Amino acid sequence: MRPTVNDIAREAGVSLATVDRVLNDRPGVRDKTIRAVTEAIEKLGYVRDLAAANLARSRSYPFAIMLPDTESQFVQTLADALDVAGKQAATSRVEVRLHRFPAEDPHALAAMLARLPDQDYAGVALMAPETPILRDAVRSLRAKGLPVVALVSDLPNTDRDHFIGIDNRAAGRTAGVLMGRFLGGGPGQVMVLGQSLLARDTIERRRGFDEVMLRDFPRIEPLQTLESHGSRQTLRQIVAEMLANAPQVRGIYAMGDGHRALTQTLGELGLSGKLTVICHELTPHARAALETGEISAVITQNLGHLARSTLRVLRAKADRAPLDEGQEQIRIEIVLRENLPALPDTVPHSHTTAA
C-alpha cells in the first residue's frame, strides 16, 4: 500500500498535526522536526494524494476564457475544443466559462476583464492582440492574484503567467523551408496572402518565411503580402489578377485562414493541384483540400492539445504548482496528406460512466 500521512507521522515519531504543518508549510515547527518529517517522507517514498488533498480543500477551478467574437472557423474550432476539454475536466473540479468580446474593440474587452475579479474566477485565458489598454487590464488582474494566460497570440509585454501557442516566426520559417524544398529551390515566385485575426502573428510568420527564403532559397522570390481583409470577393480578385500577371508564380503561402475561398478560386482558374500551396491551421476545409491535393501542406497547432494545455496550465498556476513544460509545449505540426490524423469520433460524455 502507498504510505499516507499517518505512516509518515509514525515513521518520523511525530503527530499527524506536525506532519500536516510540514507538508503545508505552516509555521511553528522546529527545523529539526521538519528534517525528521522530510526524511520519513523520503524514506517511505510518500507522494501526496492530490485528489484527496483537493477534496479536503474543496478547491475548485472556475476559469474565464476570452475569445474574439470572430466567426472564423479557427476561432470556432478553438471554442469547441475548449468546450470539450472543459467537459472532460469537469470531473476534476474545473469549470470553463467562455466569453466572447467584440474583436475590434479593445475597450470592451478591458471592461469585461475588469469585471472578472468580482466573479471569483481562479484564472483567465485570453486570445487578443496586445494593446496598451489590454496591458493595463492584464496587469490589474494579476495584481489581484488572478493567473492570466495568453492564448494563440502572445502578450509579451504584459506580465501574463504563460503563453500557450506556437512561435509564429518559427512557423513561418517552417512554411518557408517546405515551400523552398517543394519547389526544388526555384527558380520561381511565391504569392503570399495575408488576413489573419491577429496582425502581429501574420507579421511574424512573414518574417520567418522571408528569413528562410533569403538565406536558403535565393532563387525564389516571395512577392508582397496581398491582403484580402476577410473578403472572399477581394481574395478572388487579387489572386486572379496576380496569377494573370505573374506567370512565374509556382507557389502560394497563405498565412491566414480562409482556405475555402482560396481553393475555390484556384479551382475556377483551373489551377487545382498545379501550384504548391502551403497554409496554416488544419480546419475541416484544409483537411479536405489536403486530401484532394489542392493544398500541399498545412502548418498547424493541435487545438485539442492547446485547449487541454490551457486548462492544465491555468490549474497549475492557480495552485502555484510547477508545470510539465514538455507536455505544455505546443508543437508546430506539419501535415501532409500522408500523415493527416484520422478524425476521431466525437467524444461521448456520460455522467453515469464508471470512474
Partner DNA sequence: GTAATTTTGAGGTACGTTCCTCATTTTTGA
Partner DNA sequence: TCAAAAATGAGGAACGTACCTCAAAATTAC
Single-letter amino acid code for the residue at 199: A
Is residue 341 close enough to count as binding its own copies by CB under 8 A?
yes
Minimum gap (Å) between residue 58 Cβ and DNA: 4
- Return the residues of window 41-70 that contact its own copies according to CB under 8 A: 41, 46-55, 57, 59-60
Q: Does residue 350 interact with DNA by CB under 7 A?
A: no
User: Least Å distance between CB 193 and its own copies?
Assistant: 20
Q: Which helix (H) or strand (E) holds 34?
A: helix 31-44
CB of 125 to its own copies, least distance (A): 19
Binding letters toward DNA, positions 38-77, x by CB under 7 A: --------x-xx--xx-xxxx-------------------
Judged by CB under 8 A, the chain residues 90 through 119 that form the site for its own copies are 90-93, 95
Smaller CB distance to its own copies: residue 110 or 179? 179
DSSP for residue 102: -
Q: Between 5 and 313, name the residue whose CB sits nearer to DNA.
A: 5
Q: Are 221 and 180 in contact (CB under 8 A)?
A: no
Q: Cα–Cα distance between 296 and 289 in angstroms, integer?
A: 8
170 is an interface residue for its own copies by CB under 8 A: yes
Q: How far is CA 192 from CA 211, 289, 292, in A?
A: 14, 18, 22
State the Cα–Cα distance between residues 119 and 140, nearest whole angstrom: 15
Q: What is the DSSP letter of 61?
A: E
Residues 219/185, Cβ–Cβ less than 8 Å:
yes
Look at residues 306, 287, 309 and name the one whose alpha carbon lies nearest to residue 298: 287
Per-residue burial over 335-352, b if 16 or more Cβ lie within 10 Å, else e, is: beeeeeeeeeeeeeeeee
Residue in 305, 318, 306 with CA at minimum distance from that of residue 124: 318
Task: Give the shortest CB-93-to-its own copies separation in angstroms.
Answer: 7
Nearest residue (CB) to DNA, 91 versus 233: 91
Question: Least CB distance from residue 261 to its own copies, whole Å?
Answer: 26
Point out which span in 12-20, 134-142, 298-306, 334-342 binds DNA (CB under 7 A). Answer: 12-20
Site for DNA in 23-42 (CB under 7 A): 23-24, 27-30, 32-33
Please give the radius of gyration of the chain, using alpha carbons only, rounded to the nearest integer.
25
If one asks whether residue 145 binds its own copies (CB under 8 A), the answer comes out as no
Alpha-carbon span 187 to 248, nearest angstrom: 8
Q: Which is nearer to its own copies, 25 or 71 (CB)?
A: 25
Q: What residue type is assigned to position 6 of the chain?
A: N
Binding to DNA by residue 328, rule CB under 7 A?
no
* Binds its own copies by CB under 8 A, chosen from 98, 177, 243, 288: 177
Does 244 interact with its own copies (rule: CB under 8 A)? no
Could you tell which of its own copies, DNA, none binds residue 326, using a CB distance below 5 to 8 A set by kind?
its own copies
Main-chain dihedrals φ then ψ at residue 333, nearest 5 degrees: -95, 140
Q: Tell me how far, at minimum, the Cβ of 211 lies from DNA, in Å.
A: 49
Instruction: Provide the sign of the torsion angle of the four alpha carbons 332, 174, 150, 76, taken in this order.
Output: negative
Rounded CA gap, 18 and 33, in Å? Answer: 8
Is 355 a residue that touches DNA (CB under 7 A)? yes
Which of 16, 114, 143, 336 binds its own copies (CB under 8 A)? It is 336
Exposed, middle or buried: residue 7 (CB in 10 Å: 0-12, 13-18, 19+)?
middle
* Site for DNA, rule CB under 7 A: 1-2, 4-6, 13-18, 20-21, 23-24, 27-30, 32-33, 46, 48-49, 52-53, 55-58, 355
